Structure 1
Amino acid sequence: MKRLVVICLMVFSTSVFAQHTLSVKVNNVTSNEGKVNVAVYNSHEAFLSFDKVMKTHGVSAHKGTVDLTITDLPDGEYALAVFHDENDNGKLDTNWLGIPKEKVAFSNAKMKTFGPPKYKECAFTVNSDYEIHIDF
Protein backbone atom coordinates (compact mmCIF):
# COMPACT_ATOMS: atom_id res chain seq x y z
CA MET A 1 0.00 0.00 0.00
CA LYS A 2 2.85 2.40 0.83
CA ARG A 3 4.35 1.72 -2.57
CA LEU A 4 1.06 2.64 -4.30
CA VAL A 5 0.85 5.91 -2.38
CA VAL A 6 4.46 6.79 -3.26
CA ILE A 7 3.88 6.01 -6.95
CA CYS A 8 0.70 8.11 -7.00
CA LEU A 9 2.50 11.03 -5.37
CA MET A 10 5.35 10.81 -7.87
CA VAL A 11 2.98 10.78 -10.85
CA PHE A 12 0.95 13.65 -9.41
CA SER A 13 4.01 15.79 -8.68
CA THR A 14 5.45 15.38 -12.17
CA SER A 15 2.15 16.32 -13.79
CA VAL A 16 1.70 19.38 -11.55
CA PHE A 17 5.20 20.64 -12.26
CA ALA A 18 5.42 19.50 -15.88
CA GLN A 19 7.74 21.66 -17.96
CA HIS A 20 7.41 21.85 -21.71
CA THR A 21 9.36 23.07 -24.69
CA LEU A 22 7.82 25.59 -27.06
CA SER A 23 9.25 25.59 -30.60
CA VAL A 24 8.55 28.85 -32.43
CA LYS A 25 8.98 28.92 -36.22
CA VAL A 26 9.03 32.51 -37.51
CA ASN A 27 8.41 32.63 -41.27
CA ASN A 28 9.03 35.36 -43.86
CA VAL A 29 12.08 36.94 -42.22
CA THR A 30 13.24 39.37 -44.92
CA SER A 31 16.89 40.00 -44.03
CA ASN A 32 19.96 38.59 -42.33
CA GLU A 33 20.37 41.73 -40.21
CA GLY A 34 19.87 41.88 -36.45
CA LYS A 35 17.88 39.48 -34.30
CA VAL A 36 14.46 37.91 -34.17
CA ASN A 37 13.06 38.17 -30.64
CA VAL A 38 10.09 36.46 -29.02
CA ALA A 39 8.32 37.50 -25.81
CA VAL A 40 6.14 35.03 -23.91
CA TYR A 41 3.17 36.37 -21.92
CA ASN A 42 0.86 34.44 -19.60
CA SER A 43 -1.91 36.96 -18.87
CA HIS A 44 -3.87 39.74 -20.51
CA GLU A 45 -2.62 42.14 -17.82
CA ALA A 46 0.99 41.49 -18.82
CA PHE A 47 0.46 41.28 -22.60
CA LEU A 48 2.76 43.63 -24.53
CA SER A 49 4.18 45.14 -21.34
CA PHE A 50 7.98 44.96 -21.51
CA ASP A 51 8.36 44.80 -17.73
CA LYS A 52 5.86 41.92 -17.34
CA VAL A 53 7.27 39.48 -19.91
CA MET A 54 7.34 35.91 -18.62
CA LYS A 55 10.22 34.80 -20.89
CA THR A 56 12.16 36.19 -23.82
CA HIS A 57 14.52 34.72 -26.34
CA GLY A 58 16.36 36.08 -29.36
CA VAL A 59 18.41 34.55 -32.16
CA SER A 60 20.36 35.91 -35.11
CA ALA A 61 18.13 36.69 -38.06
CA HIS A 62 18.42 35.06 -41.45
CA LYS A 63 16.17 35.19 -44.50
CA GLY A 64 13.37 32.67 -44.54
CA THR A 65 12.40 30.81 -41.38
CA VAL A 66 14.01 31.36 -37.99
CA ASP A 67 13.63 28.79 -35.20
CA LEU A 68 13.44 29.80 -31.54
CA THR A 69 13.07 27.46 -28.57
CA ILE A 70 11.54 28.36 -25.23
CA THR A 71 12.16 25.78 -22.51
CA ASP A 72 10.72 25.08 -19.08
CA LEU A 73 7.17 26.29 -19.69
CA PRO A 74 4.62 24.93 -17.22
CA ASP A 75 1.12 23.96 -18.33
CA GLY A 76 -0.86 27.10 -19.08
CA GLU A 77 -2.18 29.65 -21.51
CA TYR A 78 0.30 31.84 -23.37
CA ALA A 79 0.51 34.49 -26.07
CA LEU A 80 3.59 35.46 -28.08
CA ALA A 81 4.83 38.70 -29.56
CA VAL A 82 7.69 38.48 -32.07
CA PHE A 83 9.72 41.29 -33.61
CA HIS A 84 12.66 41.55 -35.97
CA ASP A 85 15.18 43.91 -34.40
CA GLU A 86 16.95 44.61 -37.70
CA ASN A 87 19.33 47.23 -36.31
CA ASP A 88 20.04 45.06 -33.22
CA ASN A 89 19.54 47.92 -30.77
CA GLY A 90 17.58 45.75 -28.33
CA LYS A 91 14.26 47.54 -28.73
CA LEU A 92 11.28 47.77 -31.05
CA ASP A 93 11.72 50.96 -33.05
CA THR A 94 8.56 53.00 -33.66
CA ASN A 95 7.69 56.20 -35.47
CA TRP A 96 6.44 59.34 -33.72
CA LEU A 97 2.91 57.87 -33.58
CA GLY A 98 4.15 54.70 -31.87
CA ILE A 99 3.67 52.55 -34.97
CA PRO A 100 6.40 49.89 -35.27
CA LYS A 101 9.06 50.50 -37.93
CA GLU A 102 10.31 46.92 -37.55
CA LYS A 103 8.41 43.73 -38.38
CA VAL A 104 6.03 42.57 -35.62
CA ALA A 105 3.91 39.42 -35.42
CA PHE A 106 1.80 37.57 -32.87
CA SER A 107 0.72 34.02 -32.09
CA ASN A 108 -2.64 33.20 -33.72
CA ALA A 109 -3.44 36.81 -34.70
CA LYS A 110 -2.33 39.64 -36.96
CA MET A 111 -1.63 43.30 -36.28
CA LYS A 112 -4.84 45.29 -36.63
CA THR A 113 -5.23 48.55 -38.52
CA PHE A 114 -5.42 50.51 -35.29
CA GLY A 115 -3.15 48.54 -32.99
CA PRO A 116 -2.12 45.11 -31.81
CA PRO A 117 -4.49 42.20 -31.19
CA LYS A 118 -5.79 41.37 -27.72
CA TYR A 119 -4.24 38.67 -25.52
CA LYS A 120 -7.23 36.32 -25.96
CA GLU A 121 -6.90 36.55 -29.76
CA CYS A 122 -3.27 35.45 -29.52
CA ALA A 123 -3.58 32.92 -26.69
CA PHE A 124 -2.96 29.18 -26.97
CA THR A 125 -2.72 26.39 -24.41
CA VAL A 126 0.43 24.43 -23.63
CA ASN A 127 0.07 21.09 -21.84
CA SER A 128 2.82 19.21 -23.70
CA ASP A 129 5.72 20.15 -25.96
CA TYR A 130 4.27 22.51 -28.57
CA GLU A 131 5.22 23.96 -31.96
CA ILE A 132 3.77 27.17 -33.34
CA HIS A 133 4.30 28.92 -36.70
CA ILE A 134 4.18 32.71 -36.88
CA ASP A 135 4.32 34.71 -40.12
CA PHE A 136 5.75 38.22 -40.46
Structure 2
Amino acid sequence: MLAIALMATATASAQRDMQLTISNIPNDKGQILVATKSGQWAKVKAEKGKIETTIKDVPDGKGTIYVFHDENGNGQLDEKDNIPMEYCAFGDYELSESNSKVDIELIYVPDKMKGHDRQAD
Protein backbone atom coordinates (compact mmCIF):
# COMPACT_ATOMS: atom_id res chain seq x y z
CA MET A 1 0.00 0.00 0.00
CA LEU A 2 2.80 2.41 0.87
CA ALA A 3 4.45 1.84 -2.53
CA ILE A 4 1.18 2.66 -4.32
CA ALA A 5 0.73 5.82 -2.27
CA LEU A 6 4.30 6.92 -3.02
CA MET A 7 3.83 6.28 -6.75
CA ALA A 8 0.61 8.30 -6.80
CA THR A 9 2.33 11.18 -5.02
CA ALA A 10 5.29 11.08 -7.42
CA THR A 11 3.06 11.23 -10.50
CA ALA A 12 0.74 13.95 -9.18
CA SER A 13 1.57 17.32 -10.68
CA ALA A 14 1.79 20.53 -8.73
CA GLN A 15 -1.29 22.69 -8.73
CA ARG A 16 -1.66 26.43 -8.33
CA ASP A 17 -4.16 29.24 -8.59
CA MET A 18 -4.38 30.73 -12.09
CA GLN A 19 -4.68 34.53 -12.15
CA LEU A 20 -6.95 35.08 -15.16
CA THR A 21 -7.61 38.41 -16.88
CA ILE A 22 -10.51 38.43 -19.36
CA SER A 23 -10.84 41.44 -21.67
CA ASN A 24 -13.18 42.74 -24.38
CA ILE A 25 -16.35 42.04 -22.39
CA PRO A 26 -19.05 43.94 -24.31
CA ASN A 27 -21.40 44.79 -21.39
CA ASP A 28 -22.45 44.10 -17.79
CA LYS A 29 -25.22 41.62 -18.65
CA GLY A 30 -25.09 38.01 -17.51
CA GLN A 31 -21.97 36.18 -16.46
CA ILE A 32 -18.58 35.03 -17.65
CA LEU A 33 -18.13 31.26 -17.65
CA VAL A 34 -14.64 29.79 -17.58
CA ALA A 35 -13.45 26.18 -17.81
CA THR A 36 -10.11 24.50 -18.22
CA LYS A 37 -9.64 21.31 -20.18
CA SER A 38 -8.45 19.69 -16.94
CA GLY A 39 -11.81 20.35 -15.23
CA GLN A 40 -11.52 23.55 -13.19
CA TRP A 41 -14.19 26.20 -13.72
CA ALA A 42 -15.52 29.54 -12.52
CA LYS A 43 -18.56 31.73 -12.97
CA VAL A 44 -18.10 35.49 -12.57
CA LYS A 45 -20.52 38.40 -12.92
CA ALA A 46 -19.91 40.16 -16.23
CA GLU A 47 -18.46 43.67 -16.14
CA LYS A 48 -17.96 45.72 -19.28
CA GLY A 49 -14.36 45.90 -20.37
CA LYS A 50 -12.08 43.69 -18.30
CA ILE A 51 -12.29 41.48 -15.21
CA GLU A 52 -9.79 39.53 -13.18
CA THR A 53 -10.57 36.27 -11.44
CA THR A 54 -8.78 33.30 -9.92
CA ILE A 55 -9.16 29.68 -10.99
CA LYS A 56 -8.17 27.40 -8.12
CA ASP A 57 -6.06 24.23 -8.22
CA VAL A 58 -5.03 24.24 -11.88
CA PRO A 59 -2.31 21.66 -12.64
CA ASP A 60 1.09 23.01 -13.63
CA GLY A 61 2.07 22.60 -17.24
CA LYS A 62 0.32 23.16 -20.53
CA GLY A 63 -3.44 23.36 -20.78
CA THR A 64 -6.38 24.91 -22.58
CA ILE A 65 -8.93 27.38 -21.23
CA TYR A 66 -12.40 28.13 -22.58
CA VAL A 67 -14.27 31.37 -21.78
CA PHE A 68 -17.55 32.88 -22.89
CA HIS A 69 -19.85 35.75 -22.00
CA ASP A 70 -23.16 34.11 -21.12
CA GLU A 71 -25.05 37.32 -21.72
CA ASN A 72 -28.53 35.82 -21.33
CA GLY A 73 -27.61 33.66 -18.32
CA ASN A 74 -28.78 30.34 -19.78
CA GLY A 75 -25.53 28.54 -18.93
CA GLN A 76 -24.60 27.62 -22.49
CA LEU A 77 -22.81 29.16 -25.44
CA ASP A 78 -25.58 30.19 -27.83
CA GLU A 79 -25.00 29.26 -31.46
CA LYS A 80 -26.65 29.79 -34.82
CA ASP A 81 -25.66 27.39 -37.60
CA ASN A 82 -22.80 26.14 -35.37
CA ILE A 83 -21.38 29.67 -35.01
CA PRO A 84 -21.08 31.11 -31.49
CA MET A 85 -23.40 34.09 -31.06
CA GLU A 86 -21.92 35.22 -27.73
CA TYR A 87 -18.45 36.61 -27.13
CA CYS A 88 -16.07 33.72 -26.48
CA ALA A 89 -12.45 32.61 -26.63
CA PHE A 90 -10.20 29.68 -25.98
CA GLY A 91 -6.48 29.51 -25.66
CA ASP A 92 -3.51 27.52 -24.54
CA TYR A 93 -1.53 28.37 -21.43
CA GLU A 94 1.42 27.07 -19.49
CA LEU A 95 1.45 27.39 -15.70
CA SER A 96 4.55 27.07 -13.60
CA GLU A 97 5.99 28.28 -10.33
CA SER A 98 7.20 31.42 -12.14
CA ASN A 99 4.07 31.97 -14.27
CA SER A 100 0.49 31.79 -12.99
CA LYS A 101 -1.03 34.66 -15.02
CA VAL A 102 -3.14 34.14 -18.13
CA ASP A 103 -4.75 36.83 -20.31
CA ILE A 104 -7.56 36.07 -22.71
CA GLU A 105 -9.53 38.39 -24.99
CA LEU A 106 -13.09 37.56 -25.95
CA ILE A 107 -14.08 37.84 -29.59
CA TYR A 108 -17.39 37.99 -31.43
CA VAL A 109 -16.98 35.20 -33.98
CA PRO A 110 -19.52 36.42 -36.62
CA ASP A 111 -17.58 39.66 -37.02
CA LYS A 112 -14.25 37.83 -37.24
CA MET A 113 -15.74 35.76 -40.05
CA LYS A 114 -16.69 38.98 -41.87
CA GLY A 115 -13.19 40.36 -41.41
CA HIS A 116 -13.97 43.20 -39.00
CA ASP A 117 -14.45 43.68 -35.28
CA ARG A 118 -17.78 44.50 -33.65
CA GLN A 119 -17.48 47.37 -31.19
CA ALA A 120 -18.51 46.50 -27.65
CA ASP A 121 -21.69 48.28 -26.47
- Secondary structure at 2:79 match in 1: coil
2:88 aligned residue: 104
Partner of 1:62: 47
Aligned partner of 1:103: which letter? Y
Counterpart position of 1:82: 67
Ranges of 4+ aligned residues in structure 1 off by more than 3 Å: none
Root mean square deviation, CA, Å: 2.2
Structure 1 distance, partners of 2:41, 2:75, is 12
Query: Partner of 1:38 in structure 2?
Result: 34
Structure 1's unaligned 5+ residue stretches are: 1-12, 43-53, 108-122
Count of aligned positions:
98
**Residue 131 to residue 17, structure 1, CA distance change in 2 (3 Å):** same
What percentage of aligned pairs have identical amino acids? 33
Does the Cα contact within 8 Å between 1:94 and 1:101 map onto a contact in 2? yes
Shift of 1:17: 4.9
Q: Tell me the residue number matched to 1:135.
A: 105
For 2:102, the aligned partner's letter is I
CA offset at residue 68 of structure 1? Answer: 2.0
Q: How does the TM-score come out when normalised to structure 1?
A: 0.64
Matched to 1:22, the amino acid is M
- Quick check: 1:125 aligned with 2:121? no
Q: Which has the higher strand share?
A: 2
TM-score in terms of structure 2 length: 0.71
